[in-house]
Amino acid sequence: MGSWRTARWSKFAVSGALALGLAGAHGAAAAESGRLLETGSSLLYPLFNIWVPVYTKSHAAVQISTQSTGSGTGISESVSGLAQIGASDAYLSNALEKQHPEMLNIPLAISSQMVNYNLPGLNAQHLKLSGPVLAGIYEGKITKWNDPAIAKLNPAVNLPADTIVPVHRTDGSGDTFIFSQYLSDTAPDWAKTIAYGTTISWPSVQGGLGAEGNQGMVNSVKQTPYSIAYIGISFKGATDQDQLGEAMLENRAGKFVLPTDQTVQAAANSMVAKTPKDERISLIFAPGADSYPIINYEYAIIKSKQADVQTAQDLKTFLDWALRGTGGNAASFMQQVSFVPLPASVRKLSNAQIAKING
Amino acid sequence: MNFRTVLATVGGIVPASMIAVVVFLTTYAWPAIEYNGVGFLGGMHWNLGNLYADPIDLSGVQILPGASYGIFFLIVGTLLTTLIALLIAVPVGVGAAIFLAEAVPPGPRVWLSFLVELLAAIPSVVFGLWGYAAIVPLMAQHVFPAMAHALGWLPGFGEPIGSGFGLLTSGIVLSLMIVPLIAATLRDAIDSQPAAVREAAQALGATRFETVWRVLLPGLRSVLIGACVLATGRALGETMAVLMVSGNALNTLPQTIYAPVSTMAAFIASQLDSALQDPTGLAVRSLAEVALVLCIISIIVNVCARLLLAGFGARERRGL
C-alpha cells in the first residue's frame, strides 16, 4: 500500500513539474527563435504590414506578426515582455523611463497627422484651422461650424450653422499624444488643464464621439456629418477614397499648411539637430515658414534585455534592415504611407541604441 | 479520501471561487478604494491625470497630478442600458414564449423554438459587429429621425439625434441578446404545466389567451423572475456588444435617449491599456474598483430577486 501511494504521488510530482516547465516555456513562447511580435500604433501599422512580407522573403527564418492595438498597448506590452516590438508614436514618459530604464525608444521613420472633417459639400476645400480653434472645438467652447473663430480663418467659405461633432480616440493612442501636444503648445489653457498624453481627460462635449484606432476614426468621420477628427497620415488613402475634408493647420510662423512631403521634411529639418541620445523628443510645432506642425518620430519601443540571444539577434537584424535606405526606409515603402525617411544623423543615433539590445 | 470529502471539495470550488474573486478584487483595489473614498461613486470625472508629468506624493500615495476617479456616468450608463434592454426584452420574451407554447402547431414549434434558443448561442462580439454595421446606420438614418419627429415633445426623445451610437441602440442590441433567455425558459415552463390546469380553465370558458394569461402565467411568477434576473445579470456584464455600439461617452451623462453612453464592463475593457500607462499603478487599481462595483451591483440584483421569490413563495404557501 505504502509503495503504491508513493508511486502515485511521484507520478503526480513528475506531471506537475512537466506542466510547470511547459508553462514556463510557453511564457517565453513568443520569443521562440524565429518569432517576433509587433503590436501597437495604428499609425505605424500600415508600414509594418508592407515591410513584413518583403522582409520575410529575404529572411525566411523569422516570422513577424503585426497587430494594430494603439500606442498605449504597444508600450505596455513591450514593457511587460509580451511583445518584442512595441510600435508607438509616443516616447516613454520620464516616470515610465525611470521605472523601466532598460526600455529603448528607437525612431524608425518620421510620420505626420492630418485633421479631417466631413462637411457635406465642402470636403473638397481645405479649411484653415489653428491650434487654439481646435482646442476650443475639443473643449466644447466652439460648438458650431460657423463660429466667428473659424469664420475669421476662412472668410471665403460658406460655413454651415451645424453643431461640430469632435471625435477622439478611446484607446491609449500615440495620435492622441501628438495631437494633444499640438494643442498644448498652441493653447495655454489646454496646456494648463488637460496637457498631453496617450490618454487624456477629454472635456465632455455633448455629442462628441469616441473611436478605436485610426480606422475607427476614419469610419466615424465618414458616417457622421459635421464631425472632425485627428487621423494619422498613413490613412490618407482611406480618407481620400472616402472624400473626407483635410484641414490646413497653422504652423509656428503663422502660415497654414497641408501635410506634404515638403512641409513634413521642412519641419523635420529644423528639429532633428536637437534630438538627444535617447531620442525622446517632441517634433510638434516646429519653427519654419513651410513646416507642418504635427510631425513625430515613429518609435519602436524595445526592451534592451531580450528573452534569449536568438530573439535579440533577430530583432537587431530586422531593425537594421528597417533603418537602411535600401531596406525599410526606402522611398518605395515611405511613399505608400506618406512617411518621410529618417535623416542620417538620427539613423546613427538609432543604430547606436540598437547596439544596446542583447539576449 | 472518501466519496463525501471529494464531493464536498469539488462542490465547494464554485462558491469558494466566487468568494475568492470578490476577495481578490477588494484586496487588489484597496489602495484605490482608500484614495478614492466615497466620492468614487458620485464623481463625474474619470481622469488619469497628466501621464507625462512626474508623480506627486499625496499623503503617502503616489499619484499623477490631476488624477481623480469618478464613475457616476458609468453607473448611470450601465443601469439605463440594462433598464431599456429589459423594457424591450421582457414583453417580447413573454410574448414569444406564449406564442411558441400556445399558438404554434406542434410541427413548426420544434424548429421555431430551436431558432429562438440559437439566438442565445451567438457570441456577443458577433452581435456587436452586426449592431455596428447594420443597426447603427439604420437607427441614424431612418428610425431616430422618425422618433424625434413623432415623440420629440417627450423629454429625452427630442433632437439632437446623434450618430446612431448611443443608449437606445445599446439597449436594443442588448435586448436581442437577453430575449432568448426569457423566452426559452418561460416557454419550457408553460409547456410543463400539467394539462389538467389547462383543461380546467377551458372547461370554465376561458379563451386560449385567458388560460395562459390568467391561469398559467401567474403560477410561473417565480420562473419569470428567475429568467429576468438571469437576463439582467447578462445585460449588466455585457462587454463587447455594448463597446461597439454605445459611442463610449467619457464623463458625460446622456441628455437624450440617442446620446452616447458608457457602461462599466465596456469601460474596463476599453480603458485597461490606457490605465497600464500610469506608472503609479493607481489607474489599474481604480479599474479593479469599477469591476468590484459591478460585481456588487450584480449581487444586489440577485439578492433582491431572491427576496422577491421568497416573498412570492410565502404568499403561495398562505394560499393567495
Contact residues for B168 (Cβ-Cβ < 8 A; gap 6+): B84, B139, B144, B257, B258
Contact call for residues B43 and B72 (beta carbons, < 8 A): yes
Q: Region B75-83: what's the mean pLDDT? A: 95
CB pairs under 8 A between A and B: 109
B150 to each of A341, B103, B143, B144, B158, how far by Cα in Å? 57, 33, 11, 10, 9
B37: left (phi over 0), alpha (psi -120 to 50) or beta: left
Interface test with B, best of A91, A206, A226 (most B CBs within 10 A): A206
**Chain B partners within 8 Å of A206 (Cβ):** 160, 252, 255, 259
CB atoms B250 and A224 under 8 Å? no
CB atoms A199 and B51 under 8 Å? yes
First-residue to last-residue Cα distance in chain A: 50
Amino acid present at B187: R
CB atoms A73 and B45 under 8 Å? no
Query: Is there a domain that residue B10 lies in?
Result: no
Tell me the angle at which helices B3-36 and B282-317 cross, rounded to the nearest 10 degrees: 120
The three three-digit cell numbers of residue A147, written as one number: 463660429
Query: Is there a domain that residue B148 lies in?
Result: yes
Cβ atoms within 10 A of the Cβ of B241, count? 25
pLDDT digits (tens, 9 = 90+) for A246-259: 999 999 999 999 99
DSSP state of B87: H
CB atoms A224 and B53 under 8 Å? no
Q: Of the segments A14-18, A111-115, B39-43, which one has the largest average pLDDT value?
A: A111-115
CB atoms B51 and A197 under 8 Å? yes
pLDDT digits (tens, 9 = 90+) for A76-117: 999 999 999 999 999 999 999 999 999 999 999 999 999 999
pLDDT over 50 (residue A22): no
**Cβ-nearest to A201 among B48, B52, B273:** B48
Contact call for residues B102 and B208 (beta carbons, < 8 A): yes
Contact call for residues A206 and A118 (beta carbons, < 8 A): no
The pLDDT score that the predictor gives to residue B192 is 87
Query: Is there a domain that residue B300 lies in?
Result: yes
DSSP state of A168: E
The three three-digit cell numbers of residue A224, written as one number: 457622421
Domain limits at B152? 27-317
B232 to each of B77, B165, B182, B261, how far by Cα in Å? 14, 22, 10, 18
pLDDT digits (tens, 9 = 90+) for A146-162: 999 999 999 999 999 99
Query: Is there a domain that residue B13 lies in?
Result: no
DSSP state of B276: T
Query: Is there a domain that residue B301 lies in?
Result: yes
Beta strands in chain A (DSSP E): 35-40, 63-68, 85-88, 103-117, 128-129, 165-169, 209-211, 227-232, 245-246, 248-250, 256-257, 295-303
**CATH assignment at residue B124:** 1.10.3720.10
The pLDDT score that the predictor gives to residue B119 is 86
Structure-model confidence comparison of residues A20 and A335, the more confident one: A335
| Mean pLDDT (chain A, rounded) | 89
Planar angle of CA B54, A180, A114, nearest 5 degrees: 150
pLDDT over 80 (residue B314): no
Query: Is there a domain that residue B172 lies in?
Result: yes
**Cβ-nearest to B251 among A96, A204, A223:** A204
Structural domains in chain B (count): 1
Contact call for residues B312 and B221 (beta carbons, < 8 A): yes
Query: Is there a domain that residue B11 lies in?
Result: no
* Full-model pTM: 0.81
B49-108 residues touching A, CB cutoff 8 A: 49-55, 64, 66
Contact call for residues A39 and A77 (beta carbons, < 8 A): yes
Contact call for residues B174 and B119 (beta carbons, < 8 A): no
Contact call for residues A118 and A225 (beta carbons, < 8 A): yes
Query: Is there a domain that residue B19 lies in?
Result: no
pLDDT over 80 (residue A197): yes
CB atoms A195 and B66 under 8 Å? yes
pLDDT digits (tens, 9 = 90+) for A290-316: 999 999 999 999 999 998 899 999 999
The pLDDT score that the predictor gives to residue A5 is 55
**Chain B partners within 8 Å of A226 (Cβ):** none
**Cβ-nearest to A165 among B163, B270, B276:** B163
Whether the CB of B164 is below 8 Å from some CB of chain A: the reply is yes
Interface test with A, best of B144, B274, B282 (most A CBs within 10 A): B274
Report ipTM for this prediction: 0.77
B98-137 residues touching A, CB cutoff 8 A: 136-137
Give the sign of the dihedral formed by CA A94, CA A96, CA A100, CA A105.
negative
Q: How far apart are CA A217 and CA A209, in angstroms?
A: 9
A137 to each of A142, A161, A252, A295, how far by Cα in Å? 5, 14, 20, 21
pLDDT digits (tens, 9 = 90+) for B90-125: 999 999 999 998 888 988 988 998 998 888 889 989
**Chain A partners within 8 Å of B164 (Cβ):** 223
- Minimum distance, in Å, between the CA of residue B86 and any CA atom of chain A: 25
pLDDT over 90 (residue A285): yes
The pLDDT score that the predictor gives to residue A3 is 52
